[in-house]
Amino acid sequence: MARSFCNASRMWGKISSLSYSSNGLSSYGPTKTARIPVLHAESSSRKCQSGISAGSESKASNGSGFSSLGDRVRGREVELNRRRIISHISNGSSRERMVAACGIAEFSTVSDYPPSLKSRLLRGEKLYGAFSSSFSTVVAEILGWAGYDFVVVDMEHGAGDTFAALPVLQALASTGTPAVLRIPWNDPVLVKKALDLGPAGVMFPMIQNAEEAQRAVDSCRYPPLGIRGAANSIIRASRYGLDPSYLSKCDDDLLIMCQIESLEAVYRIPEIVEVEGVDCIQMGPRDMRASIGLLKYPDDSRPLELLKSAEKAVQSCGKKVLLAGMSNPESSPVELFDRGYDLVSGIVDVALIRDAAVADLKKNKPKK
């Protein structure tokens, strides 16, 4: 038992810090170091110094190469300490109480965010993502762990609001997957609530002209550049006030996407992309089809011609604007990337589950 305790304290002597994530406070995913409690175990390590060599000999004599009892003790100590820290954080403990209860010698705040979704795109990466309309945290985690580059949480056609979107963003953050929020409408109140959740990007549906695009950008900027309400000291986007760099980087990191979904909007693409702050044009092929009265006619090729003309309008503009789209019956993800798209959403989670369920029933359900 004494030997195992020495193994545990030896491990703590080697580990200088333990980082934690409270279910992922950043939309960009869990960070390597956020608020870091630095744990010191030098004194307990010195108390057991005489037993270290004996523990090493025990390891050497174990055919598996490690001490199973010591390994269990180490794992248990790590888990208990992690739980104590998170418990005190959740209960709003002061710094002094956490130091006393968890043996934390000091705190350090380190900003170590991964590259933003926007910066990756501006570097030339081609990113493949998915839409989430189910507002299921389990499905969101599956999409993230499966490897999608980003997930659009759809508050326009999905059933959820910002309150329902929060746990979905937290689930995606736990997998390191950036989230984009598609808001229901170009409304400053809806934008404010969405941005306070800390998404990597925000998608504005049905942008028809430059005036509407400017309104979208203004809703994303704090005064004097815009009209966004300020609560930066308590919102999730700033790690609830724990990230002092938030105000200096939020504009540069946020991907602002304007969706083109009508014949009128296609004609006005040149003026829309000239609005300062518009980073990306998202194509909406289904609503484009509807806008020319062909939603009920899936075999008509004119909507595809309209989509391609919209793509050329974006790509021919002198200003560099990203191009985003969704796969559709006329254009696969591979075809969209070949046509110059920077980011493509290939699936919608509810459709993916539906298709899998239908395929399973067709294959396995006994015939009556």
pLDDT digit string (tens) for 309-348? 999 999 999 889 999 999 999 999 999 999 999 999 999 9
The pTM assigned to this predicted structure is 0.72
Whether 281 and 260 have beta carbons less than 8 Å apart is answered as: yes
**Could you tell me how many residues make up the chain?**
368
Name the E strands within the chain.
35-39, 104-109, 127-132, 151-154, 179-182, 201-204, 255-260, 280-283, 322-326, 343-348
- Quote the pLDDT of residue 71: 55
Any catalytic annotation for residue 40? no
Strand partners, 36: 108
Among 306, 301, 311, 281, smallest CA distance to 291 is for 306
Domain boundaries, the chain: 2-109, 117-356
Active-site position among 72, 95, 97, 157? 157
Cα Rg of the chain (Å, integer): 26
Give the CATH class of 117-356.
alpha beta
pLDDT tens digit sequence for 8-51: 444 444 433 343 333 333 444 444 333 334 443 334 443 344 44
